[in-house]
Each structure stands twice: as C-alpha cells, then as structure tokens.
Amino acid sequence: MLDLNITLFIQLANFFVAVFVLNLILIRPVRDIIKKRKGIIDDLTGEADGFEAEASRRLSSYEEEMVRARQAAALARKEGHAAGMVEQQNIVGAAQKSARDIIDEARREIRAEAEATLEELRARTGAVSVSLADCLLKG
C-alpha cells in the first residue's frame, strides 16, 4: 500500500522546483529564439513578396509600353495611307521602319529592365537565402 509521508511532499516540491528552473533556463529562451526566427522568416517572406509584386508591376508597365508602341505604329501607317499611293509608299515605309525601331527599342529596354530586375531579385534572393540559412544554422 502507498504510504503518504513527508517524502512525497519533498519529491513534489523538488519536481515543481525542477520544472520552474527548467522553464527559466531552457524553455523560455528556446521559445524566444523560435519567436525571433519566425519573425525573421516572416520579414524575409514579406520582402520576397514585395520583390515579386514589384517585378509584376514592372512587367505590366512594359506591356503597356508595347501597346503604346504598337498604337503609334498603327497611327503612322494610317496617316501614310491617307496621303496617296506614291506618297503612301514612302510614308508607310518610313512609318514601318520607325515602328520597328520603336518596338525593337522598347523590346530592348524591356528586356534590359526585366533582366536587371531579375538579376536584382536573384541577388537579393541569394542574400535572403544566405541570411535565412545563417539564422537557421546559428539558432
């Protein structure tokens, strides 16, 4: 049969003291470290989402520039057609060359900006990945 004596109360007191000390020394610091890491990861995720949104905004801006370049080319072709058959050939030829140049230039600019944006995102992603890995390894 189980004897209830003073050792039971001493063992209960030892248990609660051990739990209290472990909480102070081990559990709370680990919980704080986990919270800090979660905050860092959330910040990095938000930053990556911001980069993605910026890239999407730039892409839509580039597409709008392409539409404007095509509209300018179409307008130039219509004006050339109205000027007459002989003059039409000269004007349409110049307008088409101008439109191609505008479109080519717009494409070059879009490609250059898209590549720069992608490089910037890749560079930042690498830095974020290294930072995240460093935080995870240090923890």
What confidence score (pLDDT) does residue 1 get? Answer: 57
- Assess whether pLDDT exceeds 70 at residue 82: no
Q: How far is CA 15 from CA 3, 4, 12, 25, 27, in A?
A: 19, 17, 5, 15, 16
What confidence score (pLDDT) does residue 46 get? Answer: 92
What confidence score (pLDDT) does residue 135 get? Answer: 85
pLDDT in tens, 5-44: 888 889 999 999 999 999 999 999 999 999 999 999 999 9
CB atoms within 10 A of CB 135: 14
Q: Tell me, yes or no, if the pTM score tops 0.85.
A: no
**Euclidean distance between CA atoms 38 and 33, whole angstroms:** 9
Lowest mean pLDDT among 8-17, 26-35, 87-96, 106-115: 87-96
**95 CB-contact burial (10 Å; exposed 0-12 / middle 13-18 / buried 19+):** buried
- Assess whether pLDDT exceeds 60 at residue 2: yes
Q: At what angle do helices 28-82 and 85-138 cross, to 10 degrees?
A: 180
